Amino acid sequence: MPAISVILPVYNSGEVLHRTIKSIIGQSFRDFELLIIDDGSNDGVSPAICDEYAGAYNYIKVYHGPNEGVSGARNRGISLAQGEYLMFIDGDDWVESDILEKFYAKAPADYIACRAEGKDIQCFRDKTYIRGEVDNLFNMVRQKCFYTVWAKLYKKSILDEYGLRFDRKLFLAEDTMFSYNYLAHCDSVAILGKPYDHYTGVWGGTTERYGYGLEKAQYMVRTGYEALQAISEHWGQPLPYHRRLAYMNHVQGLYSKYTDADICKAFRECCPSISEDQYYNCSGLCQSRNGLRMLKKLWRKGKKEEALALAKDLHNHFTQPTSRLGLKPHYRLLYALVRTENYRGLRVVLPLVCRL
């Protein structure tokens, strides 16, 4: 049995896949297997690259199958893995040559993670957390390393004992839910502050495109709420759920269909312990506030027509007084311009706001 099973889902990765696989082949730690899960690639390149490496190295196995999405591909890898620990890597990323060595040095910790370079997915510093000895559970859970599953070690025994797999019904944040559900069964977490993983995001990968329906958004929020409750119970400390669920309340595509009051009601149906005031005053949770941030972000990126189209959707979404939202002055001004459909004024103010 290898110490580590590295699981690599692949979908139309193309030539960039060479860099990913070579970074794994070049590991200083040698007690591992590499499972390449070809998720129905049809680019005429990726399957051949997978077969090329599997034919050259006896510790590399490739499995070709129909397209099931990233969750299906990862689940298949979990079922096939023989290692004590599992590590996931995306087909367009690459890792440092000593990542497995540094990770396995932290065994027997249940959950081992590191910083990732390339997208604001980071941990704060080297730290080990032991269940029953954690001063502030929120400070542990809020670290962004738990948002993703790549460049982590997960114990296969825990995954199998509790039947933990990726939820294919989730249209977003399936990796966050997997990490949270796993964390609810861990007794120790070891985090490395150095970025041993390099996130690139240069291709679509196994990412699926989903519609943002309110029912799907509710399912994601409810799933996250239950996972956080399980973490709180297992680690023996309360968590401010509304501050962690902000990442999961993704309903930006619903601005033209629902008001902010509709979204608040739907959210609280999933999370009854969160009050309306907590919802509206949480900068990440309240979708009115997220909409204003997105407006600013689009304009700053030069996507002016997209920004104005979003403003027209937000006009139908905004119903709450700015005093309830606790907005900063420049956001209050944007809010007022959107509500009054003053798009000419918006064109004048947005460039000024983007400088703040």
> Which of 152, 174, 198 lies at the terminal end of a domain, its last residue?
198
Question: Alpha-carbon dihedral of residues 253, 259, 263, 269, nearest 10 degrees?
Answer: -140
With contact defined as beta carbons under 8 Å apart, do 250 and 172 qualify? yes
- Whether 166 and 219 map to the same domain: the answer is no
Angle at 243 between CA 158 and CA 192, to 5 degrees: 50
Of 81, 99, 111, nearest to 6 (Cα)?
81
> Residue 140: which CATH number?
3.90.550.10
- Whether 190 and 305 map to the same domain: the answer is no
Domains of the chain: total: 2
Domain enclosing residue 125, as ranges = 4-198
Is the preceding omega at residue 351 within 30 degrees of 0, hence cis? Answer: no
pLDDT digits (tens), the chain, 356 positions: 999 999 999 999 888 999 999 999 999 999 999 999 999 999 999 999 999 999 999 999 999 999 999 999 999 999 999 999 999 999 889 999 999 999 999 999 999 999 777 654 555 678 899 999 998 888 888 777 788 898 899 999 999 999 999 999 887 788 989 999 999 999 999 999 888 888 776 444 443 334 456 787 788 888 888 998 999 999 999 887 655 665 555 555 667 788 888 888 888 888 888 888 888 887 667 888 888 988 999 999 999 999 999 999 898 889 888 888 888 899 999 999 999 999 999 999 999 999 88
Query: What is the reported pTM?
Result: 0.84
Residue type, 50: C
Give 150's DSSP letter.
B
CA distance 102 to 104: 6
For residue 207, being part of any structural domain is answered with no
